[in-house]
Amino acid sequence: MGEHIIKLPDVGEGVAEAELVEWHVKVGDLVREDTVLAAVMTDKATVEIPSPVDGEILWLGAEIGDTVAIGSPIVRLKVAGEGNVKPESSPAAETIKVEPPAKLATPKPEAATPAQKASPAAGEAKARPAPSPASPKSTTRSTVSGAPRAEGEKPLASPAIRLRAREAGIDLRQVAGSGPAGRISHEDIEAFLARGPQVARISGLARNDAVEDIKVIGLRRKIAEKMTLAKSRIPHITYVEEIDVTALEDLRAALNKEKRADRPKLTLLPFLMRAMVKSIADQPNLNALFDDEGGIIHQHGGVHIGIAAQTPSGLVVPVVKHAEARDIWECAAELNRLAEAAKSGTATRDELSGSTITITSLGAMGGVATTPVINHPEVAIIGVNKMMVRPVWDGTQFIPRKMMNLSSSFDHRVIDGWDAAVFVQRIKTLLETPALIFVD
């Protein structure tokens, strides 16, 4: 038998490190060749790491959320044959994360060990506290003063007492115990009830002081970093405009009804994408990336539209490349393909990068108006709000119209307020008169 070390491979595009976001195995597992061991993330692409050999997992070299350098050992296996590790190359004992066995030594009477304080058993032991030099002060406070316990201090009571308190709607933290170390008895409950309800009666409602610490890792950490960068470095200007999409919705319904079997169903987004392409033709400075450190605006000819999409793992932005070269149905087909890849987690790094302008939409959850955050280093983002039927005055009477707001943000270092307004008004004209979208 031998040992085989698996190192983090180069996951592409010259990255020097990756974040470990998931382990698919644990120490002691038997794995076959090509079994997925772990998942790592670079930028917004997640890559699975398979095992190149059969073997038994001996050691895992990182924890979830750790950033691991390319080429660092991440897994050690026991394998048939010699493996790829020489006996003298075994890692030092201190580098291998092995939990030591629990010690069964008898604790000293004068103080509890840290392990006892941290273990569940120690929590149970509080119900039967032994006298110690440190306890008289707290015991005296509870039994002599009869004061309620301090915030976060757990009352000492038997299961029967706790059940009685719950049924009576009593918060045990408000009851002064007369037993050893402030332990609460039935007599204490009766004495408390005799004093009246006061603040103890909680009518079935109880405070929850629990605090859960959740480590920010993986995609959520990438999103946090991206949002912090965008909001700290880009001075946003947001422009909200109302759009009458009644004619557009009628056209969309007609096209879907008469569409060929090989064409996808049209949503509003492909029409918006084509309207953006036509508007960018008049204002190419909107289709740009701003290198604020170098002081350079990279103005692109190709219109690569990112579509902010919510997935089970979090927010991702798949990109429809070269929207200027796609018609309505081609835009819709590519949108469907990318949305499915994003939701299933199979979208590639290339499909999740390279946008030059972004659309964000929450559909029916879109609200009346929003303040979308620009996808740095882009200079503009178009936010789609929910569509509602509202009465609109046509000069003689109120008529029902399908209305929708566009909430758009722009990098004010690059885009002036006037230019932002002209851009949105051009999109408004195209969406309100949708036949113009099809005119070259």
CA distance 384 to 271: 12
Q: Three-state DSSP class for 89?
A: helix
Task: Note the helical H segments in 169-245.
Answer: 186-194, 218-233
Alpha-carbon distance 284 to 299, whole Å? Answer: 7
Please pick, among 24, 236, 322, 412, the residue that the annotation labels catalytic: 412
412 given a catalytic annotation: yes
By the 8 A CB rule, do 419 and 283 touch? yes
Following DSSP, what letter does each residue of 251-308 receive, concatenated?
HHHHHHHH--TTSPPP-HHHHHHHHHHHHHHH-GGGSEEEETTTTEEEE-SS--EEEE
Contact at 8 Å (CB) between 407 and 438?
A: no
Residues 111, 114, 116: CA angle, nearest 5 degrees: 80
Residues 279 and 146: their CA atoms lie apart, in Å, by: 75
The per-residue b/e assignment along 67-81, b for 16 or more CB within 10 angstroms, e otherwise, is ebebeebbbbbebee
- Give the DSSP H/E element, type plus range, for residue 329: helix 328-344
Length of the chain: 440
Active site residue 416: yes
Distance CA 310, CA 354 (A): 18
* Separation of alpha carbons 57 and 432, rounded Å: 62
Please enumerate in sequence order all residues whose Cβ is within 8 A of that of 194, keeping only pairs 6 or more positions apart, or say none: none
| HSE-up of residue 169 (Cα within 13 Å, Cβ side) | 10
Contact status, residue 379 vs residue 236, Cβ threshold 8 Å: no
CA-CA distance, 69 to 7, in Å (whole number)?
Answer: 9
**Which residues on neighbouring strands pair with residue 381, listed in sequence order?**
358, 409
Cβ–Cβ < 8 Å for 392, 403: yes
Q: Are 170 and 200 in contact (CB under 8 A)?
A: yes
Q: Which of 34, 291, 350, 416 is catalytic?
A: 416
Residues identified as active-site: 412, 416
